[in-house]
Chain A
Amino acid sequence: MSMRTLPLVFINLGGEMLYILDQRLRAHNTSEDNSEKVMNDIVGTMFSKAFMDELLKPQQLYSHRTLKTVLTRLAHASIMRLNPASMDRLYELMVMAFKYQVFLCLRPKDLLLISYNHMDTIREFVKDTPMAVNQVDETHRKIIEAYSSLSEGELQLLRQTLLTFFQDMHVRVSLFLKDQIQNPNGRFALTTSGPVPHGTDVPGLIRIFDCRGREVRRREFRSGGSYTSSIREGSFELHGNRVIRLGMNMYTVDHPEETHTSRAPSVKVITYGSPNPLAKEELNLLARLMGSMKTENKPKDESGFRINLFNTDKEEAEFLVQDEQAASELARIAGQFEEEEEEEKPEKPSNNKGEELLAMMDDL
């Protein structure tokens, strides 16, 4: 499968995370200063050269638990705090949004346009901080360089790798249900209408040729859908109109219930505890990613503030019951990482790694 998924995974999931956090910060009437600081801190960490360079190395996409651990750390790169239940819900929202985008994009190359949509909006969030904008631009350039040479077939393999990763996740998101892009059973709506992808013809035509390549007959058939010609192609440059809307910010301030999620009754929940023969490789990746995240702004005092992804305590309690297993698994992994780290790299200076983890465990 593809070894180039990680950069796109973090840009898109990170992007969705920032959209949701932005909505919650505004819903909580957080001050402009605090909001800006949160955004700048997270963007600065996520788009740091060290972190991005680690992601850009060809490697496998590991498990949800590794991904979630790193994203939790990213979310906490700022003075904002999320309790475990909020982080769990945040993860579900992020993943379901990205799954929707990957599932519905018209062709594999659109995955890049989706990523660029996320980066464009992230640039807007930090537009008053030139250093952050530069980091986003640099990352964008690296992504263009790394991905523009991939063929459509290779990008489809990347897409298939992502789809396998998201398989069996059917968490219902109230915003998606409301907009009818998701059905009550948690599956996304796929219409047989609309524009065809760039490079595809509207279905309905059979052409027969003779030995010399001349068309001798053409016949139409009923396609069973109502498709239209493809729309113009979006821009793959650093700046430009992406044309497609997937990857743009779906959340607004006016509807706080949009971050509500629920599990369809008979639906399988993501399991975190399955044995993984690649656990050692996975932990190595985790170590490298955590180590590459800058920590200048790591606060240890009370000046941090909490935001909540739930509107009521009852909602949070209901959610927690479902996710107790997940929360304890996360703590176990964080602890395991620390042990492994100490065993394997005693000569490496501990930087802030140990402290970060302890702090994270304290929060849990």
Chain B
Amino acid sequence: MYHKEKSIQIKNSASALYNNLSVLRIAPRRLTHFTVVHANMVNMVSASWDGLNYTHRQLQSKEPNVATSTSLIMQMYESDGSIMVYWHALDTPETPTAQAVFARGIAAVYENYICVGVSSGAILVFDVPSKGSNITLSEVLEEHKESITDMASECSGSQECIANLVTADDGGNLCVWKSGEEFQLLNKIPGFDMSCSSVKLWKGTAVAGYGTGQIRLYEAVTGILHAEINAHARWIYSVDIAPFSGLLLSAAEDSLVRVWHMTITPETNSVEVVHLHNECVTDTQICGARFCDGDGYAFAVTGYDLSEIIRYIQS
């Protein structure tokens, strides 16, 4: 169904972090940006569609200021990584805790919000104006009690979905939100003390990957479990959806990437999932996997200690 294409070399190897690959397709310029995190540095490579040009850029986090008591958690750049437009820091707690303050999980949410998850379980909601760079912190959502792992906004493009954000935490709990000046909590789906490391939202269905290797499909607003897949033998690090075709991608520490197809009919509440394809990245614990386009014609994969982005396209 898919075959391997030429890999893209990156300047550093990928770190073992959940969802460690981002892909942004810029159709008007016929190129795609890929970003992979290595420790505290972001490796960016922009690949032209004709396969002839690769531009690399590295974004380093601003040096942590240990003298003051703040922890830098977020920096925002132009999409090509050229200019930093905003940064945000949080106060470090007085007494040291089991983990440092860090950010994890990010999503762009209708209409003009960017949400960022924090290790405390808080979610920072930033208001990003369509013009200018006057980004402000609009709200802090404090519903999760455990570290945020991932979050996703509704990707079907439909304005009819009531819920447009799902957030996940280390206890496997999912919160479902409706965005606005004040975000509204629509539902809370409890976890079973097993971390949900990656989550996506499509046609009102939350697709969640867990540390146990399971994938679950929940109807977001009601919490009804529609499907459960014993998908992987190790911790899942990434799930992704191609919204135009309903293809689902899952990748885990077991070195396997799997492609599935979902059929979701919200009107009849029916969900179907079939398995389509496997790819094995030998001896690699995969940490990122994303479709490169909305149809799922191609997907890209990163792995811990690997200095390349492996690509696959449909045969």
Residues of A in contact with B (beta carbons under 8 Å apart)? 1-4, 57-60, 103, 106-108, 150-154, 156-157, 159-160, 163-164, 167-168, 170, 183, 187-190, 192, 196-197, 199-209, 211, 213, 219, 221-225, 227, 277-278, 280-281
Q: Which residues of A contact B275 (CB under 8 A)?
A: 206, 219, 221-222
Task: Return the contact of B231 from the options A58, A151, A203 (Cβ within 8 A).
Answer: A203
Q: Which residues of A contact B16 (CB under 8 A)?
A: 159-160, 163-164
Taking a contact as CB atoms under 8 Å apart, the answer to whether A59 and B96 are in contact is yes
Q: Which residues of B contact A205 (CB under 8 A)?
A: 229-230
* Bound-state Cα–Cα, A163 to B37, Å: 13
Taking a contact as CB atoms under 8 Å apart, the answer to whether A164 and B15 are in contact is yes
Chain B residue nearest to A207 in the complex (CB): B228
B105 at the interface (CB under 8 A from A): no
Assuming the contacts A163-B16, A224-B280, asked whether A208 and B271 have C-beta atoms less than 8 A apart, the reply is yes
* Bound-state Cα–Cα, A96 to B91, Å: 36
Q: Which residues of A contact B147 (CB under 8 A)?
A: 153-154, 157
Taking a contact as CB atoms under 8 Å apart, the answer to whether A1 and B99 are in contact is yes
Q: Which residues of B contact A3 (CB under 8 A)?
A: 96-100
Q: Which residues of B contact A208 (CB under 8 A)?
A: 226-227, 271-273
Q: Which residues of A contact B230 (CB under 8 A)?
A: 200-205
Q: Which residues of A contact B102 (CB under 8 A)?
A: 1
Chain B residue nearest to A170 in the complex (CB): B305
Assuming the contacts A3-B100, A209-B228, asked whether A153 and B170 have C-beta atoms less than 8 A apart, the reply is yes
Chain A residue nearest to B213 in the complex (CB): A200
Q: Which residues of A contact B234 (CB under 8 A)?
A: 106-107, 196-197, 200
* Bound-state Cα–Cα, A363 to B169, Å: 51
Taking a contact as CB atoms under 8 Å apart, the answer to whether B255 and A190 are in contact is yes
Assuming the contacts A206-B229, A209-B228, asked whether A199 and B212 have C-beta atoms less than 8 A apart, the reply is yes
B198 at the interface (CB under 8 A from A): no
Q: Which residues of A contact B225 (CB under 8 A)?
A: 209, 213
* Bound-state Cα–Cα, A60 to B40, Å: 14
Q: Which residues of B contact A277 (CB under 8 A)?
A: 63-64, 66
Report 5 cross-chain contacts, Cβ distance below 8 Å, ordered by A residue: A2-B100, A152-B195, A154-B99, A167-B304, A205-B230
**Residue in B96, B98, B195 whose Cβ sees the most chain A Cβ within 10 Å:** B98
**Residue in B169, B232, B274 whose Cβ sees the most chain A Cβ within 10 Å:** B232
Taking a contact as CB atoms under 8 Å apart, the answer to whether B284 and A164 are in contact is no
* Bound-state Cα–Cα, A203 to B234, Å: 9
Q: Which residues of B contact A156 (CB under 8 A)?
A: 195, 211, 235
Chain A residue nearest to B276 in the complex (CB): A221
Q: How far does the Cβ of B105 sit from chain A's closest Cβ, in whole Å?
A: 13
* Bound-state Cα–Cα, A2 to B98, Å: 6
Q: Which residues of B contact A153 (CB under 8 A)?
A: 146-147, 149, 169-171, 195, 211
Taking a contact as CB atoms under 8 Å apart, the answer to whether B255 and A206 are in contact is no
B179 at the interface (CB under 8 A from A): no
Taking a contact as CB atoms under 8 Å apart, the answer to whether B213 and A278 are in contact is no
B214 at the interface (CB under 8 A from A): yes
Taking a contact as CB atoms under 8 Å apart, the answer to whether B170 and A154 are in contact is yes
Assuming the contacts A164-B15, A200-B233, A222-B278, asked whether A207 and B99 have C-beta atoms less than 8 A apart, the reply is no
* Bound-state Cα–Cα, A188 to B255, Å: 12
Taking a contact as CB atoms under 8 Å apart, the answer to whether B193 and A58 are in contact is no
B89 at the interface (CB under 8 A from A): no
Q: Which residues of A contact B182 (CB under 8 A)?
A: none
Q: How far does the Cβ of A268 sit from chain B's closest Cβ, in whole Å?
A: 9
The 8 A CB mask of B252-276 against A (1 = contact, 0 = none) is: 0011100000000000010111110
The 8 A CB mask of B6-38 against A (1 = contact, 0 = none) is: 000000010111000000000000000000001
* Bound-state Cα–Cα, A208 to B269, Å: 12
Chain B residue nearest to A164 in the complex (CB): B15
* Bound-state Cα–Cα, A107 to B278, Å: 22
Q: Which residues of A contact B66 (CB under 8 A)?
A: 277-278, 280-281
Task: Return the contact of A192 from the options B96, B193, B233, B235 (Cβ within 8 A).
Answer: B233
**Residue in A59, A157, A163, A225 whose Cβ sees the most chain B Cβ within 10 Å:** A157
* Bound-state Cα–Cα, A170 to B271, Å: 45
Taking a contact as CB atoms under 8 Å apart, the answer to whether B193 and A152 are in contact is yes
* Bound-state Cα–Cα, A355 to B133, Å: 57
* Bound-state Cα–Cα, A219 to B213, Å: 17
Chain B residue nearest to A166 in the complex (CB): B305
Taking a contact as CB atoms under 8 Å apart, the answer to whether A225 and B233 are in contact is yes
Q: Which residues of A contact B284 (CB under 8 A)?
A: 190
B194 at the interface (CB under 8 A from A): yes
* Bound-state Cα–Cα, A129 to B102, Å: 44
Chain A residue nearest to B65 in the complex (CB): A277
Q: Which residues of B contact A280 (CB under 8 A)?
A: 66
Taking a contact as CB atoms under 8 Å apart, the answer to whether B227 and A207 are in contact is yes
Q: How far does the Cβ of A108 sit from chain B's closest Cβ, in whole Å?
A: 8
* Bound-state Cα–Cα, A208 to B235, Å: 22
Taking a contact as CB atoms under 8 Å apart, the answer to whether B213 and A201 are in contact is yes
Taking a contact as CB atoms under 8 Å apart, the answer to whether A167 and B233 are in contact is no
B283 at the interface (CB under 8 A from A): yes
Chain A residue nearest to B222 in the complex (CB): A211
Chain A residue nearest to B214 in the complex (CB): A201
Q: Which residues of B contact A107 (CB under 8 A)?
A: 211, 234-235
Q: Which residues of B contact A151 (CB under 8 A)?
A: 146, 170-171, 193, 195
Q: Which residues of B contact A204 (CB under 8 A)?
A: 230
Interface residues of B in 143-182 (CB under 8 A from A): 146-147, 149, 169-171
* Bound-state Cα–Cα, A157 to B98, Å: 10
* Bound-state Cα–Cα, A189 to B235, Å: 17
Q: How far does the Cβ of B261 sit from chain A's closest Cβ, in whole Å?
A: 11
Q: Which residues of B contact A106 (CB under 8 A)?
A: 234
B90 at the interface (CB under 8 A from A): no
* Bound-state Cα–Cα, A170 to B307, Å: 13
